[in-house]
Amino acid sequence: MEEDDSIDLSITRRNLLLASAASAAVTALPAEAQTSGSPQIAVEKVHTHKVTLQVNGQPKTLELDTRTSLLDALREHLHLTGTKKGCDHGQCGACTVLVDGRRINACLTLAVMHEGAQVTTIEGLGTPQKLHPMQAAFVKHDGYQCGYCTPGQICSAVGVLDEINRGVPSHVTADITVKPLLSADELRERMSGNLCRCGAYSNIVDAMTEVAGGVR
Amino acid sequence: MAKTATPRTPRAGAERVDARDKVRGAMRYAGDDVRPGLLHAALVPSRIAKGRVTRIDVAEAQRVRGVRSVLTHENIGSFDTGGFLMGGGFGFQSFFPLRSAQIAYRGQSVAMVVADTLEAAREAATRVVVAYEAAPFVSTLDDPGAEPIDQSVLLPQPMFADRKVGDPERALAGAAATVDLHCELPAQHQNPIEIIATVAEWKDGVLTISEPTQNAEGVRHGLSRQLGIEATRVRVLSPTLGGGFGQKNSLQSHTVLVALAARQLGRPVKLEMTRAQLFHNTSFRPASRHRVRLGADREGRLVGAIHEIDQQTSRHDLFPSLGTEVTSRLYGVPNFLGRERLVRTDVQTPGFMRAPFEHAATFAYECAVDELAHALGRDPVAFRLLNDASTDPLSGKPFSSRHVAECLVSGSEIFGWQRRSQQPGSMRAPDGSLVGWGVALGIYKAAMAPAIAKVRLQADGAVRVSVGGHEMGQGIRTAIAVTVARQLGAPIGAIEILLGDTAAAPQHVTAGSWGTATALPPVLDATRRLLDDLRQHAGAGASSGTTALELLRASGRPFAEAETRARAPGQPEQVFGRLTGGLPAAAGPVYPDFVAFSFIAHFVEVRIEPTTRRIRVPRVVSVADCGTVVSPRTARSQVEGGVVWGIGATLREMSEVDKRYGGFLNTDLAEYVVPVAADIGRIDVSFVGKPDTRFNTLGAKGLGEVAMVGVAPAIVNAVFHATGKRLRRLPLVIEDLIG
């Protein structure tokens, strides 16, 4: 691998964690993080990197500990606390945001992996004066109780309808040639990565059904 | 599974007052605190289940860049226990980590790191080196070292005694038909989606705590005791919780650590627990075993019942079992014995998890009732109707209101129960699935706690309501707003409701489904007093159509205010001392002139795939008797949520224990399986809606927990109807149905 000062974009989270822990393996990191010739990784040192994200249409540049998840970057650094942390392990979906149009769990990705990406959080859907249609539908159908999973549910719901429109199949798609793929079972299946302990699932599906214009 | 769905009619009733905030991500929870100067904390959990810390080395942790402090039992200084909620104290358990080297349970905190960043705190936490001396431990009810002891011996108060009326042994001996069954239910965890975050800050000697809690007053007084400072110098804020379900109903064992760190460092400190840590650092539903013996005469009338329960507790506290308090009142059984035993295990103290005793006890009892009905060849609904009660078998007092019959009749009509063929395995779906239809009752006490409510109207139109309560999604804020708006003729948007703030009003724990019954009557009363006051000051000028605001402006006063204190029937005036002291003070279900319970009937359809035995629940019909329904929209959602919980408790949830390690193994949301959207079909909810004005002026009984009770036996009874198999252990697994 060519040794240069720029960050290796193929770096994985696992490699970064190994590098910043006490490990002998040195992967390609920004030059300032490498100690010349020394085999010892200094645990005191914090590896940081600059990244610019397009968040809700605004460019945001951060200098971050490379271990900072996208979720923590949004919440702790950009103070966009609408996106929630429910598990930090990609198991609950409360941290769902839209990155370059696709829904992802923000806790399962590092901020520094998304240079230049378009990030849409719940704060970026609609405005205080004019709710996004999905937000309005959730209000109409009482698609929440405690509200903690709600931002993730709404971002995920927006992502789901887009996926269905693009013809992306799911586990319950019986025939991928039938269009549209929209059905109650499809909505339920695709939303099963967003846990709601208050049990508002039926209302959430009702809200999505309305935005989708009804289901077969 | 349903292949098509028509969009259902829009929700009846007013939208929640916090609806817009919730869908815009503008709702603020404790963990959303990003105030300037905030430091971040991380806990270090114990790797052994019992014993002591012999050495703890923080040097490596301290070397991590950004670390400010590493607290252990050796350097944190002394602080008091917060006591046990059920023992005159405030904590979910009496054992508070970092007060000594003792390890009482796996996952107990042994240190806390405080650092400039979350990443530094978490990294440093992994670098704290701990050596232990391990001791043998007991982790399950059937562990050889587990010893059940009669609760009546351990806890000599009347409320924990055996419940007995008549001569049940004799009645069973003479019965025409009897059943005798044993049931087992596992430990489970509440797992609200919000993870607990605690923020502590000191200013001029006053500590302010932001933490999601259902008991702000308990946290306040508990910390006051632990830190040795006046309660006037502690303020606790919990305006909005991301779900409670009992996990947050008392002082947690970590809160004082955050307060101590903030004081030591002179900076605000935020501790964000991890999901895994929640499994060992808060309460949970204890494992239980049940034996139910039931007997009926030839006509199908229940003549005798003996219900025995063994329930898990910790080594250091006795969390009581109260299951027979409700099963004794399900039917009019004249001879009843309820006996409870506690089993100490080495774990953090279990506690209240939605319908903490009622879910398990009613599961066992309603399975037995169903089995007895079948033995006598009776329809399960008809059998239950025949055994309806009009007075409490234990005390002889009347029920304040009881509409069990209407729940059953109405529910069976909506469900289409008359099309059920009785023979197990006789109903099949077109796709070959076995179809099963089951029914069960649910019951939960109607409780009430003391409260002080203040309503204030200002000349600019703003209305401010202060009362004790905590909003965790049940919609208490909305119920209050709707009530006040209607009384005053004020727009809902003008009403500010202060909940969960110890500086605004005393905050009794919001639990036991008593939140609405506790807060709303005094709010309603205070609002009426305010109107009376306004009318008096307006004098002859007031006409009947005038709004409260018009009356106030006509009087020329800048504001008007009214305050009301309310307590449950039979409670003495001294109970307000408990309220302001942060101690539990709820009453019920037994009152001087009546007993009070909420009821529900659940009708469940299951579909079982014949080869894989996979169980689906495509539809549930639930009819609830909770008195007045104050806010239809939120009430309906509560019952749907309760049914989802019932499905999870029956088919998914189990906190797994390996006897070799203690603690819980599946400490994350992938391995602790809760229902997801694909698990849930149609849930049809309706309400009897008859006000129980004997209980309170509003006529409202509780709803949040009765919603869940009875779902589990209804599912299991449906599985019997589909397969002919009686399953007695939850959660149901496929192995139970094979062979």
> Please, how many CA atoms are within 13 Å of residue B343, restricted to the half-sphere of its CB?
20
**Per-residue pLDDT tens digits for B324-379:** 999 999 999 999 999 999 999 999 999 999 999 999 999 999 999 999 999 999 99
Chain B contact set for A87 (CB, 8 A):
195, 275, 668-669
Does the bond joining A180 to the residue before it have cis omega, within 30 degrees of 0?
yes
Our measurement of the distance from residue B441's CA atom to the centroid of its chain's CA atoms, rounded to an integer in Å, reads: 19
- Chain-chain contact of A81 with B32 (C-beta, under 8 angstroms): yes
Interchain CB distance below 8 Å, B678 and A122: no
**What is the predicted ipTM?**
0.95
Residue A45's CB is within 10 A of a number of other CB atoms, namely 13
Note the pLDDT of residue B334: 97
Q: How far is A121 from chain B (nearest CA, A)?
A: 9
Q: Is the pLDDT of residue A3 over 70?
A: no
What chain A residue is nearest to B676 in terms of C-alpha separation?
A192
Beta bridge partners of B292: B181, B307
Q: Which residue of A has its CA nearest to B23?
A: A135
Mutate to test the interface with B, among A145, A160, A205 (most CBs of B within 10 A): A145
CB-based contact B670 A199, cutoff 8 Å = no
User: Distance, in angstroms, between A125 CA and closest chain B CA?
Assistant: 8
Residue B365: its pLDDT value, please? 98
From CA B473, how far away is CA A181, in angstroms rounded? 33
Picking from A86, A122, A214, the nearest residue to B25 by CB comes out as: A122
Residue of chain A minimizing CA distance to B11: A141
Q: Do A139 and B15 touch (CB under 8 A)?
A: yes
The predicted-structure confidence for B700-734, as pLDDT tens digits, reads as follows: 999 999 999 999 999 999 999 999 999 999 999 99
Distance from CA of A6 to the nearest CA of B (A): 23
Q: Which band of pLDDT confidence, cut at 50, 70 and 90, is reported for residue B258? A: very high
Enter the tokens of residue A32: 């300032």
- B193, B279, B671: best mutation site toward chain A, by most A Cβ within 10 Å? B193
Chain B residues close to A207, C-beta within 8 Å: none
CB within 8 Å: A215 and B5: yes
pLDDT at A43: 56
Q: State the Cα–Cα distance between residues B403 and B409, nearest whole angstrom.
A: 10
Average pLDDT over residues B234-238: 98
* % of chain B exceeding 70 in pLDDT: 97
Q: Calculate the alpha carbon distances from B368 to B296, B307, B444 in Å.
A: 11, 10, 19
Q: Is the pLDDT of residue A1 over 60?
A: no
Q: What is the mean pLDDT of residues B91-106?
A: 98
Q: Report the chain B residue with the minimal C-alpha distance to residue A198.
A: B641
Q: Which residues of A touch B2 (CB under 8 A)?
A: 184-185
Q: Enumerate the residues of chain B whose CB falls inside 8 A of the CB of residue A68.
A: 118-119
By CA distance, what is A133's nearest residue in B?
Answer: B23
Mutate to test the interface with B, among A40, A129, A131, A142 (most CBs of B within 10 A): A142
Residues of chain A with Cβ-Cβ distance to B193 below 8 Å are: 84, 86, 92, 94, 146, 148-149, 195-197
* CB < 8 Å to A206, chain B: 7-8
* Binary contact (B677, A46; C-beta < 8 A): no
Examine the pLDDT at B527 and tell me if it is beyond 80.
yes
d(CA B620, CA B680): 10
Per-residue confidence band for A16, with pLDDT thresholds at 50, 70 and 90:
low
Nearest to B193 among A89, A94, A143 (CB): A94
Report DSSP letters for A164-196, one per residue.
HHTT---TT-S-TTSS----HHHHHHHTTTS--
Provide the terminal-to-terminal Cα distance of chain A, rounded to the nearest Å.
53
Separation in Å, CA of B272 to nearest CA in chain A? 10
> What is the structure's pLDDT at A179?
80
- % of chain B exceeding 90 in pLDDT: 94
Neighbouring C-alpha atoms within 13 Å toward the C-beta of B140: 16
Average pLDDT of the residues in B2-7: 33
Distance from CA of B662 to the nearest CA of A (A): 22
**Nearest residue of B to residue A189 by CA position?**
B678
> Who among B34, B192, B677 is closest to A79 (CB)?
B34
* Residue B739: band (very low, low, confident or very high) from pLDDT cuts 50, 70, 90: confident
pLDDT, tens digit (0-9, with 9 covering 90-100), for A192-201? 999 999 999 9
Proportion of chain A above pLDDT 70, given as a percent:
79
Which chain B residue shows the shortest CA-CA distance from A182?
B4
Other C-beta atoms closer than 10 Å to the C-beta of B479 total 28
Q: What pLDDT was estimated at residue B57?
A: 97
Tell me the shortest Cα–Cα distance from A90 to chain B, in angstroms: 9
Q: What is the pLDDT of residues B411-430, one digit of tens each?
A: 999 999 999 999 999 999 99
Peptide bond before residue B268 is cis, with ω within 30 degrees of 0 = no
CA distance to partner chain A, nearest, from residue B266 (Å)? 20
pLDDT of residue A216: 60
Q: How far is B193 from chain A (nearest CA, A)?
A: 5
Contact B20 A131 (CB under 8 A): yes
pLDDT at B200 over 90: yes
Across B437-452, average pLDDT: 96
CB contact under 8 A, A145 and B242: no
Contact yes or no for B337/B294 (Cβ under 8 A): no
Alpha-carbon distance A47 to nearest alpha carbon in chain B (angstroms): 10
From chain A, pick out residues whose CB is under 8 angstroms from the CB of B3: 183-185
Contacts of B626 (CB under 8 A, 6+ apart): B598, B600, B635, B687, B688, B700, B701, B702, B703, B706
Cβ-based contacts under 8 A for chains A and B? 227
Contact A123 B66 (CB under 8 A): no
Q: Is the pLDDT of residue B578 over 70?
A: yes
Chain B residues within an 8 Å CB radius of A139: 15, 19-20, 23
- Selecting from A65, A75, A141 the residue whose C-beta is nearest the C-beta of B10 gives A141
Residues of B in contact with A83 (CB under 8 A): 25
Describe the strand order of the beta sheet including A102-105 as a list of residue ranges: A58-65, A48-55, A118-120, A96-99, A102-105
**Mean pLDDT over residues A104-115, rounded?**
98
A8 pLDDT band (50/70/90 cuts)?
Answer: very low
Q: What is the pLDDT of residue B4?
A: 31
Of chain B, the end-to-end C-alpha distance in Å amounts to 25
- Over residues B115-164, the pLDDT tens digits come to 999 999 999 999 999 999 999 999 999 999 999 999 999 999 999 999 99
Asked if B308 and B291 count as a contact pair (C-beta separation under 8 A), the reply is yes
Q: Which residue among B240, B272, B683 places its CB closest to the CB of A202?
A: B683
- Under DSSP, is residue B351 helix (H, G, I), strand (E, B) or coil? coil
Identity of the amino acid at A152: G
Question: What's the CA gap between B297 and B177, in Å, rounded?
Answer: 7
Beta carbons of A194 and B20 less than 8 Å apart: no
- Please give the Cα distance from A106 to A69 (Å, whole number): 7
Note the pLDDT tens digit of each residue in B163-192.
999 999 999 999 999 999 999 999 999 999
B26: nearest CA partner in chain A? A82
Query: Is the dihedral angle over the CA atoms B2, B3, B4, B5 positive or is it negative?
Result: positive
B641 → closest Cβ in A81, A92, A198: A198
Contacts of A189 in chain B (CB under 8 A): 677-678
pLDDT band of residue A45 (cuts 50, 70, 90) is confident
DSSP B106-175: TT-EEEEEEESSHHHHHHHHHT-EEEEEE-----STTSTT--EEEHHHH--SGGGS-EEES-HHHHHHT-
Please judge whether A209 and B472 are an interchain contact, meaning their C-beta atoms are less than 8 angstroms apart: no
Nearest to A138 among B23, B26, B473 (CB): B23
A96 backbone dihedrals φ, ψ, rounded to 5°: -60, 125
